[in-house]
Structure 1
């Protein structure tokens, strides 16, 4: 459905370090780094960080978040740990969330600008 998504970040270096680390265990890497932004993906850039002097204000009650799918619980756990070690804030540690769907295993963090980011798998491993 979506071709790509972009978010505005206040500190490109800080956000790039965060996303380089947090997305790596999900198999998502930096594929583009240019004047106008940084792009992440698996085969082409689909998640973009764009420099902004006024990124979306932090609002945990907004209900908005970005979810990345992965193939294993270990990847969800590594995402969460690396995100916290690179400037993220815990917003829900790795675990089963049956209220969302059977086998839904996910972790949530807030990135350095306050965007709510999730990793999810439906794998039993």
Structure 2
């Protein structure tokens, strides 16, 4: 349904370092960048997620978050660790979340600008 999504950020270098580290374990890389924005997606493809430098950022409240698809549980754990090491804040840990289904494995983070992000894998049984 969605083609792409972007977040406004106040410090492009800080946010790019955060997303470079956090998204790499999930298989996403920078697919383009310039002085005002960075786009992420699969190598050789277009961006599916971008960060854009803005002087003011208004972060949506608790009802909004973005969940990135993850290939494995280990990738989710690595996403969580990398995000914490690069300025993210834990927002619910990493592991199984049966409140979303018996096979729902995810990690929840708040990024340096305050956006709620997640890496998730839900295998249907």
TM-score by length of 1: 0.92
Alignment partner, residue 48 of structure 2: 46
8 Å Cα contact 1:106-1:118 kept in structure 2: yes
Unaligned runs of 5+ in 1: none
CA distance in structure 2 between the partners assigned to 1:103 and 1:57 by the alignment: 30
CA distance in structure 2 between the partners assigned to 1:85 and 1:116 by the alignment: 16
CA shift at 1:15, angstroms?
A: 0.1
CA shift at 1:102, angstroms?
A: 2.5
CA distance in structure 1 between the partners assigned to 2:85 and 2:35 by the alignment: 27
CA shift at 1:44, angstroms?
A: 1.4
Unaligned runs of 5+ in 2: none
CA shift at 1:17, angstroms?
A: 0.2
CA distance in structure 2 between the partners assigned to 1:120 and 1:70 by the alignment: 6
CA shift at 1:104, angstroms?
A: 0.1
Matches within 5 A, 1:95-110: 95-110=95-110
CA distance in structure 2 between the partners assigned to 1:79 and 1:101 by the alignment: 21
The alignment yields a C-alpha RMSD, in angstroms, of: 1.5
CA shift at 1:58, angstroms?
A: 6.5
8 Å Cα contact 1:58-1:113 kept in structure 2: no
CA distance in structure 1 between the partners assigned to 2:15 and 2:53 by the alignment: 10
CA distance in structure 2 between the partners assigned to 1:23 and 1:118 by the alignment: 11
TM-score by length of 2: 0.92
CA distance in structure 2 between the partners assigned to 1:58 and 1:122 by the alignment: 25
User: Deviation above 4 Å: which 4+ runs of structure 1?
Assistant: none
SS at match of 1:20: helix
Matches within 5 A, 1:1-125: 1-42=1-42, 43-57=45-59, 59=61, 62-123=62-123
